[in-house]
Structure formats: C-alpha cells, structure tokens
Amino acid sequence: MSRTAVSDDDEDGPPTYTVPRGPRRDPRLKDLGISCMLNTEVAALLAVIRRRPDPYAYLPPAVAAAEEATFAGLIRSLKNLRALLFQPRLGAWRCSDPSMYLKPFLDVVQSEEAPPAATGVALSSVLKILRIDVFDECSPGARDAIQAVLTAVSNCRVDRIADAGAEEAVLLRVLQVLAAILRTRAAPLLSDHAVCTTVNTCFQVVQHAANSRGSELLQRTARHCMHEILQAVFSRLPDIRSPADASGGHGTDADDDLSVSSGAGFGARCMVDIFNFLCSLLLNAADMVATPDGHGAFITEEDVELFSLVLINSAIELGGEAIGKHPKLLRLIQDDLFYHLIHYSTESSPLVLSMICSTALNLYHFLRRFLKLQLEAFFQYVLLRIGGGGCGPQLQEVAIEGLISFCRQPTFVIEMYVNYDCDPLLRNVYEDVGKLLCKAAFPASSPVTTVQFQAFEGLVNMITTIADNVEVDKAPDQATYNVDISEYRLFWVERWDAGGDHGHETWVDFVRKRKLKKKKVAIAANHYNRDQKKGVEFLKLCHLVPTPPEPKSMAYFLRYSPSLDKNKIGEFLGDPEEFSLKVLKEFTETFDFTGVILDTALRTYLETFRLPGESQKIQRILEAFSERFYEQQTSEVFATKDAAFILCYSLIMLNTDLHNPQVKKKMSEEDFIRNNRAINSGKDLPREYLSELFHSISTNAITVFSQAAATVEMTASRWADLVKRSRAIEQFTPCDFKHKLSREAFVAVSGPAVATLAAIFDYTDDEEILNQCVEGLISVARIARYGLEDVLDELLCCLCKFTTLLNPYATTEETLFTFSNELKPRMATLALFTIANRFSLAAAGDLDFGPAGCLACFNLVIFAMVDDLHEKTLEYSRREGAERETRSMEGTLAAATQLLADVFVLFLGTVAQGPGFRTFWLGVLRRLDTCIKSDLAAGGGAGVMQELVPQMLKTMIVEMKEKGVLVPRDGDELWEITHIQIQWIAPAVMEELFP
C-alpha cells in the first residue's frame, strides 16, 4: 500500500491510505494474507487447548498450574510461531522453510495429551496450509516438510479418543489431509515409501470405519479418499520415464525400480506396490469381510470386490498406455489381474460382473498389444460362456452388454478377426462373438426379452460397422478375392516381418492365407477324426504338410488343431512306428516346461490328448515327456531323466488310485512317499516335493485315458501355462479395416446373421425393431455386392417373402388390404427395391447374360411386377376413403417403374442384340404409356407418374442414341415407331428428344 499526504494541516484529519490499482497484485499482500491466516489458526488452536470442560468451574491454583504444564510445550511453540508471523523476513513465505510454521501444528497432531478438539483444529490448519500451497516443490526444506506432515498424520493416535463422535471428526480430518498431501504442489517430493504409507494409512481408516461400525459418512469418505489418492498417484504415471528410456532402450523388470519422473520424487515402484495391493485385495475378498469378532473391513464379499475393482479401474484409466512401458506393472496385469477377473466373473453378482467387463474394456483400450492370450481367455471363459446363458439370465444380460460395449469400439471387429480368427494357434473369437449374438437375438419366445433386444442391437451394430468400412470406390475383380495355397510352409508359428522381403505378398495377403489355412485345417481335422489316412491325404492336397509328411508338420497339426479327437491323437503318439516316434518327439518339444512343477507340466501335457489304454504306448509317451521335462528343469530336483519318468508313472498310478471309485483302499501320503524311495539315482527325492505332488493330485485329478471331460475351467495350472505362452506368442496387432479382410470377416457370420435378421423381421411388429432390421439387411447388401451373390440372393428371397406380393393364393383385394394396412409388407417392399436398385443391379452388371436371357427376365419378372402393381393401384384408387393407401401404392408403382428403366439402361447393349428387341421396346413404351395416363388423382394420387415417366423416357432414349441403338437408318422402323410413340406418350419432351 502507498501513503498519500492530503494536507500537512492537522485539522484536515489523518492521512489516507490507498491501494494502488493495476493488473498485478502486490505479492506482499499475499504474504500478508498468509500471515493473517496462520495467526488466526494459531489463535484458534491456543483457545481450544486452553479451554476447560467446564469454563465456570473453579480450579485451585495448583491444579490449574499442572494442567497448564501439560500443554506448556505445545503452547510455547505456538506462541513462538505467532511472534514470528508479522516480523520482516528476507523473502516470501514460499521461500521460507515450511517446517518453521508446520511443526507447532504437527506437534499437536502427534501429541497424546492434546484434547481431540485440538487435534481436529491442528489437522484443519495443516489442511488449509496444504490447500493454498503456502510452499511448493522449490521451497527450501519442502521435502522434509511434506514427509513430516505425512509422518504426523500417520502417527495420529485416534485410539485414545473415547468419544465416538470426536474420534470420527478427527478421522475425517485425517482423510482430508492425506488426500491433500498427494494434491499439493510439493507431492512429487514424496518418496515411494511415503506414497505407500499414505495409501496404507487411508486403508487403515477404511478398516477402522468398518470395524467400529462408523457412520455412513465416515465409511464413504474413507473410500472416496482412497479413490482420490490413487487418482493423484497414477495420474503421474504418464510423466514418469520408462525403464527403457532411462537405460537407453534396454529396459528390464529390475529397471522398474529406477524409473523416475521428470523431477525428483516417487516413481513407478510405489505404483507397482499399490497395484499389487489392489490385486491382493481382490484375491482375498473373502478374508476382508467383517466377522462378529471385529475383524474385516467390509460388510459383504461383493463390497470388497466392487471397492477394489473401482480403484483398479481408476488406476488403469489414469495410467493408460503408460502402464505398458513399465514391465513390473504390466506383469501384474498380465499374470495376476486377468486371472482374478476371470475367476470372479462366473461367481459374482451382476454389479461385480459389470465392473469386471468395464475393467477388461479399459485394458483392451490401452494395453491390448500386450494382452493377446489374456483377452482371448476373458472372452472364452467369461463373456462367451456367461453370454451363452450358462450362469443365469441376469449375468447373461450383463455379459451381452459387455460384448456390445466391445463391438461398439471402432476397430474391435477387424482386430478380433485378424488377431484371433486368422491365427492358427488361437480360437475364432470374432466368429464366436457373432454367432453368440445371433443365437441370443434369435426370436424364440414372446415377448422379446431384454437379452434378445440387446443382442439384436449388437448384431446390427457389428454388421453396420463392417458395411461402413468395406466400401471402396471401385470394386476389385472377382478373381482378386481368390486365395491360393500353392506351396507348403510351416505356417503355425509364422509371423509377418514388416521389414522382411515378402515379394509381391502384402500383409493383407499374408493374413488371408493364414485364415484359409486355418479353415483347411478344420476340414482336415474332420476328415482325420473319421479316417486318419483321408485326413493326411487332405493335408497334403492342401499343402498344409509336405509330401511325404514330415514329423514337425504333423506334430503341429496334432498339437494345435482344436477339433481333433483327443483319443486319436493319443493313439497316434503312442504308436511304435518310426514316424510316430519322431512326431511324438516333435510334439513334446512344442511345450515349454521351464520353471514348472512336475504335476503342472504333466497336466498341461495330458490336456492336449488322452492317454491310450496300452501300457507300452503310455510308457513311450511318458518317456518323451520326462526327457523334455528333465531338459528344462531349473531346480535340479531330478538327477536323471529316469527319475522323472518313474515319478511320472507313479503320479499316473496315484491319480488312478485316488480318483477311481472302484478302488476301495486309497493310497495314503506315506504310501506314496514310500513307493518313490531311492528312485533319484539311489537317493530319495525331497519329502516336501513329494508331499506337494500328492496333495495336488488328491485335490485336483488329472484327466487321463478316455475320461469324459467336464466343462473346462480356468485352473491355476492352466493359467500358468497361458502366462508362459504369452511371453513367446506374437503380440496383438492393432489394425484398421481393409476391404478384403472386412469382406471375409462378414462371410464368417453371414449365414446366421441373415437368418437371424430375417427371423426377427418376421417375428416382430414393433416399428423401431423393424426399422433396425431393415437397416441391418441393407448393410448386409452393401457388403454382399462385392462378389457375394449367394448372400445377396438369400437376402432378396427373404424380402420377397415379406412383401406378400408373390402369394399366388391371395386375391387382389386381400393383397391390397394387407399391403395398405400392415407396415411390414411396405417396409419389405421398400427395402427390396432399394437393395435391387443400389446393389443387386450393380452386382449383376458383371454377369454374362445373353439377349434371350435378359428378355426372359424382363417378361417374367419386371414386366409382370409392373403390370400387377399397376392393376392393384388402379383398383385401390377407385375405392372410397382409400386416399392414403392409393398414394402408398402409387409410390411403390413408381419405384417398380424406375427399376424397369434402370435395368433397361444397364442391359441395353445386350437386349438390343436380340431379334425380339423391337417388340420388347414397344412393350416398355406401352407400360410407360399406361402408367402416365392412369387417373389416380380421383383416388388421392399425387401425380408422381406424370412427372417420372418423361424423365425415364429421356434417360432411356439418350442412352439408346449414345450406344447407336436408336438412329435413323434405311429400312429400320425403330426410329419412326419411337418418334410416334413419344409424341403420343409424352409430347412435352418431343422437341427435346427429336429436334
């Protein structure tokens, strides 16, 4: 502020002070405001500390002195701070050490003698200092200060507070301060350990609020604070340098500990620990439920799952793609999180399943490049299984919603098709999704259920997405859609190398060939299941194995063909022939048993086939397995491969003994250990190792021989194998739509899709659903015009049935009544002509129709249709009160006449070569003359034909002139006849056409 002297005369009054106005505020004013704020907080805290429970009660001097001495240290530090607040300083508050003004308040927070009210006021003061950013990361001593705040809040002794209301008030302040610590500008100075401490302290409050049955406000605030803290932590992840960047492009898991942000402070290490805590919280949900003795932090298991999933979802949303740059964080999602999501899906409530689907969708958005097998497992064990109705209608509805959410993503359809349906090692996820939607949407009950309607919307969305992306300016030749396999290549593990030399082959060609080979393999597997020799011959014929077959190619066929009979695989692998033995060795080498315990490896191995019944065949198979397992063991438990073989055989015998109901006396653990003494080169295997194997087999049987397998579940051993395979498999390939791939993706689901849409159109009378059906059918036609004539024919046949115009048993009156009073026939007719005009004729343009065939099509189809519609329209126009129906019929007649003109122009060059063209042309003119002179106005007609016919005549005659069909020639009467007919039909265009 500045002082302005108004007058030197004392009688003029005191001098006035004015605040200078300008665009910037004097920083000294802000410092003065901070000083005033701190002074107010000190005064309030002193007042609360000094306040007695009964201010009117008399205290003897000695008692008062003792009470004053209890708080002497706290009061002294507060008074010292007050004395410094308004003294001149060398710099602003931001340049001062924050410990100077924070320490008195933090001492009160940590004091065990301070009354609860004082603790609450001190926490409020600290909260205010943090929120207005009195200091920042550049302030001297800021790192120690922010750490001191966290330490004080974490050590706040709320358990000493007897009053429940006072305790809750203090806890609410603690939560607010914890959240503010991570939001302050000095938060980046916190260490990884400090951030973990913040999360742990907040979770302790969550637990305390539940254990002590705190108020709803405290419980909700604690959970909200936990959410807010995680948001503040993970929002920094995109700014943290990845291990690869920090180490010059050679990052490893260990480097995650070194990842730091652009400034000093916490990095990815604390986020790994926090995310690991959240995953363990989800895993141990049952243990977190509150018990009568006061343990546990949540009311129900569902409550725990929702709480952890909300936090996990938030971390993924904020971390985004940056998670993929930190190996340890990514590994938690790949190895742990997805397993928990799959595990809880089938046993959860609809609300939990909905959150799981949202989490999986977020992971697809940001990290799908690293989650190829995990996403496949999620679709297989969760969405497809539950969506199929295996877990009840409520969960089915949520699963269908989850599938539709995926389908709405712009590139989901093509990415699923390319990455799974075109990969010979994986299942057809896209095709399974499409068929599930068709099955769920197919009308089988009345009325239409929510699940049916949702699946129908998802199906239409999927087809429309393909149709929007399949269109090209010029359709390729039909021959370019063909794919040829001219030579053998070991395609099972083949990958596309973007920088490699592929000759003339493009990435699209590579993917299409893989898909064709995958289809051929499925056909070969079907042949093989019925006749082994025919299956092998088909493989050779399609160049899927060389001639003669080599062991490696046959091994891959047996290992990765999903529809092969597992009993036949086992019989082939156990065969003593030399070729079968070589195939067995190659088959076994497709497994990676590194770091896997014996029973898990044996389960993974035997899941791919069934052991034959002969003991010699079993011995050959187990010898091959034991040799492979021994080569890859990392713990060096086995001294020789013979020891591994003997123990494998012993495990098979144990499995039979424990799980065969015909065996009455079961083998005990001691019996099993005794049976395997001195098998390891004369020494015993570790007792703990054998005990672990025994308990694993006793609790979970191995499927051997020809036992009928139940529904496959995602077990821990199966997940461990998936995680191991995910390390070596080709990454998920994000991609956009390509014309040929989009067309083939539609072909995979075209049959059930068209059938489902047609059935829904036939079944429902709801106008909204009918409109969506028509939209879907037109989208089908948009795709089918690119060389899919069979699909287009099927579509047109379906629509013709719904028009009711082709019913030979219906009278004219019945047809007119149905057509004018029912919405469905009119919509079907409109869709039929729309598809015929836009797509069917364009597709037919490449067909080789002769003159006779074209004339026959006109006479039998188009002329008959126009004549029939014209007759029915005239009849309806003569009825009283049928104006609206007449106009509707007139519009249909106009569409049919336009179709006649379009087809005429399209096939003019062909029909003009026929000997009956003159008669045919007169037939066209006669029908146009009849239409233009029809008196439909009396019945409510709008005069559409009077406007349309002259335009069509001009179009047809101009085309005939350009192609040399209609020219004045000696001895040719066509010109003269046309001249006379046009003068009679449409004299208004006579001068324009014949000047």
Q: Encoding tokens for residue 883? A: 């104006």
Rounded Cα gap, residues 536 and 524, in angstroms: 7
3-state secondary structure of 805: coil
Concatenating the DSSP letter of every residue in 487-551 gives: S----TT----TTS--TT--HHHHHHHHHHHHHHHHHHHHHHHH-HHHHHHHHHHTTSS-SSPPH
Segments in 241-337 forming alpha helices (H)? 243-246, 268-283, 301-319, 327-332
Rounded Cα gap, residues 462 and 439, in angstroms: 15
**C-alpha closest to that of 879 among 964, 817, 827:** 817
Rounded Cα gap, residues 510 and 500, in angstroms: 13
Rounded Cα gap, residues 359 and 765, in angstroms: 37
Rounded Cα gap, residues 883 and 938, in angstroms: 9
Angle at 756 between CA 750 and CA 761, to 5 degrees: 125
Rounded Cα gap, residues 62 and 270, in angstroms: 52
The residues, any chain, with a CB within 8 Å of residue 834's CB and separated by 6 or more, are 778
Residue 844 burial by Cβ neighbours in a 10 Å radius (0-12, 13-18, 19+): middle
3-state secondary structure of 303: helix
Rounded Cα gap, residues 576 and 574, in angstroms: 6
3-state helix, strand, coil in the chain (%, to 5): 70, 0, 30
Rounded Cα gap, residues 539 and 527, in angstroms: 10
305 belongs to the catalytic site: no
Q: Which of 505, 614, 713, 813 is catalytic?
A: 614
Residue 711 burial by Cβ neighbours in a 10 Å radius (0-12, 13-18, 19+): exposed
Concatenating the DSSP letter of every residue in 25-93 gives: --HHHHHHHHHHHHHHHHHHHHHHHH--SSTTS---HHHHHHHHHHTHHHHHHHHHHHHHTTS--SS-G
β-strand partners of 4 = 16
**CA dihedral for 31, 32, 38, 41, sign (positive or negative):** negative
3-state secondary structure of 962: helix
**C-alpha closest to that of 357 among 387, 319, 323:** 387
- Report whether 912 contacts 965 (CB < 8 A): yes
Query: Which amino acid type is present at position 250?
Result: H
Concatenating the DSSP letter of every residue in 748-770 gives: HHHHHHHHHHHHHHHH---HHHH
Residue 431 burial by Cβ neighbours in a 10 Å radius (0-12, 13-18, 19+): middle
Rounded Cα gap, residues 490 and 820, in angstroms: 62
Counted residue by residue, the chain has a size of 995
Rounded Cα gap, residues 656 and 445, in angstroms: 46
Q: Encoding tokens for residue 251? A: 């990052």
Give the residue numbers marked as catalytic: 614
